[in-house]
Amino acid sequence: MGDKSKIIKVKKNPDGDITDVMLDNGNVYSINEAIMMAKDGIIEGVNVGRAKNGREYLRSNPNGEVNDNMDNLPVF
């Protein structure tokens, strides 16, 4: 895979937590798979953060744009 993929849509649970992501190639991955892919440098535009409880999560790279933040992406 030469080019990195980008997250274009998200799926959320009733609490508003992101559970799955869709990449620009149409593939869908669980949030845990996406975290591993981001760590491996396969997904661009995101990084892995760690919550106070130790849980890892994906977040958009800071760029001053709010419309590409993970929570603001279209849902599927």
- pLDDT of the chain, 76 residues: tens digit per residue: 458 999 999 999 999 999 999 999 999 999 999 999 999 999 999 999 999 999 999 999 988 887 778 999 999 9
Which residues share a beta bridge with 3?
Answer: none
pTM score: 0.88
**What per-residue confidence (pLDDT) applies to 1?**
45
Q: Which amino acid is at 29?
A: Y
The residue type of 1 is M
Cα separation, 76 vs 63, in Å, equals 24
